[in-house]
Amino acid sequence: MTANQFTQQALSEWMKAEGPDSDIVISSRIRIARNLQSYPFPMLSTNLQSREVLDKLSGVLESEDLRTISNFSLLSLDTLDELEKRVLVEKRLISPALANESRNGAVILSDNESISIMVNEEDHLRIQCLYPGFQIEEAWDLASQIDDIFEVHLDYAFDEQRGFLTSCPTNVGTGIRASVMIHLPALAITQQINRILSAITQVGLAVRGLYGEGSEALGNLFQISNQITLGQSEQEIIDNLYGVVRQIIEHERAAREKLRAETKAKLVDRVSRSFGILSFAAIMDSKEAAQRLSDVRLGIDLGIIKNVPIQVMNELLVMTQPGFLQQVAGEKLTAEERDIRRAQLIRDKFKDQSTQAM
């Protein structure tokens, strides 16, 4: 597949399916960091060395074992324009670091975009697997299978005491980052969110925005991931994340029920107002759009809004981002032009949709 095929559609194929607890957990992700023995980390590599690493990793694409998992396409970052790179970041298929700073960087993508393998980012190899809903175990099983295939063909940098060696010391050991993207509007509305997030950080987990480290949490969407990679097994890391997220899900469900029972009229009004504004607004900045889309998503999950598929909301997560808006326009846009196009896009998506209060 070409870069154009990966950047023209906002909704990846894997996001069209619903997973367990998908009303709260948008997606589950496993990322594994690996480096090759006898090569410097990417930040210290020469152009020739990083090219050799890319050649070695791309050679694994010919593996029969890898072909049984999916068809893959390799995209070299130097063949992509800035908007294409930005769209791939907005779809969570590559990191901002790979888009902006890599030497001989590339990404290997499965046809349904659930598997993204970054080459020459912070590490030589970063395997990422994405699943809809709360399926962190399933994501780990697939990522581990792909990791095993690469390990057959490559000599990983590994130390008997420290484990897998990585560019950043915080990834040394297992090299695994397990994370979920979770929607917590009821906890935010009931003003419990700060207490919950504070408790999360005290049990070895990190809370970030939609695009990971350094990104802002907008629209009540949070990325929760492990911080510890050394001294715990992969399964212990997965189990710890699973247990904490399961508790967060229960707290969010309880908060939603409290809103429904105690402030039903206010909740319906909030959701309906956001839907109405999104349906008719002529200009909409990204921050307001994220918050009002969060209200509408909550309304869909609670049955306040009818006939709006949740896939539309997943699609709008990407479609309303600056890169995708400009990709569709075919040109760079000013902030005001993006806000106008964002509002128009949302209006078009919500057109002819009807709501029905409980």
pLDDT in tens, 23-41: 999 999 999 999 999 999 9
Distance CA 197, CA 332 (A): 37
Q: Is 19 annotated as a binding residue?
A: no
270 labeled part of a ligand binding site: no
Q: Token digits for 261? A: 């029972």
Nearest CA-CA partner of 317 in 353, 348, 342, 351: 342
Q: What is the mean pLDDT of residues 308-332?
A: 91
H/E element, 108: strand 106-110
* CA-based nearest residue to 271, from 289, 297, 252, 290: 297
**Is residue 169's pLDDT more than 50?**
yes
Flag whether the pTM goes above 0.85: yes
The predicted structure's pLDDT at residue 4 = 80
**Is 213 within any annotated ligand binding site?**
yes
> Domain limits of the chain?
3-254, 263-350
Within a 10 A sphere around the Cβ of 5, how many other Cβ atoms? 11
Render pLDDT for 272-314 as a digit per residue (tens, 0 to 9): 999 999 999 999 999 999 999 999 999 999 999 988 999 899 9
* DSSP one-letter code for 164: E
Could you tell me the CATH superfamily of domain 3-254?
Glutamine synthetase/guanido kinase, catalytic domain (3.30.590.10)
Mean per-residue pLDDT, 169-179: 93
- SS3 of 79-105: HCCHHHHHHHHHCCCCCHHHHHHCCCC
Taking residues 48-63, what's their average pLDDT?
92
Which pLDDT score, from 0 to 100, does residue 358 have? 37
Residue 266: predicted pLDDT: 95
- Amino acid letter, residue 272: S
The tokens describing 169, both together, are 């010391």
> Is residue 2 pLDDT above 80, yes or no?
no
pLDDT tier for residue 211 given thresholds of 50, 70 and 90: low
pLDDT of 332 > 50? The answer is: yes
342 is in an annotated binding site: no
Report how far residue 328's alpha carbon sits from residue 295's, in angstroms, rounded to the nearest whole number: 26
Of 287, 250, 277, 255, give the one whose Cα is nearest residue 185: 255
Q: Is 28 annotated as a binding residue?
A: yes
Is 51 annotated in some ligand binding site?
no
Taking a C-beta distance cutoff of 8 angstroms, is the pair 65, 175 a contact?
no
pLDDT of residue 187: 95
Binding site annotation covers 282? Answer: no
Considering the chain, what is the average pLDDT of its residues? 91
pLDDT in tens, 116-159: 999 999 999 999 999 999 999 999 999 999 999 999 999 999 99
Question: Which pLDDT value is given to residue 356?
Answer: 37
User: Which of 4-13, 61-70, 90-99, 243-252 bottoms out in mean pLDDT, i.e. has the lowest?
Assistant: 4-13
Among candidate residues 297, 328, 298, 148, the one with its CA nearest the CA of residue 234? 148
What are the angstrom distances between the C-alpha of 57 and each of 82, 126, 154, 165, 269?
24, 11, 8, 17, 54
Band of the pLDDT at 357, cuts 50, 70, 90?
Answer: very low
Query: Is 180 marked as a binding-site residue?
Result: yes
Q: What is the predicted pLDDT for the residue at 137?
A: 97
| 211 in a labelled binding site | yes
Answer yes or no: are the C-beta atoms of 314 and 320 closer than 8 Å: no
pLDDT at 228 exceeding the cut of 50: yes
- In the chain, what percentage of residues exceed pLDDT 90? 76
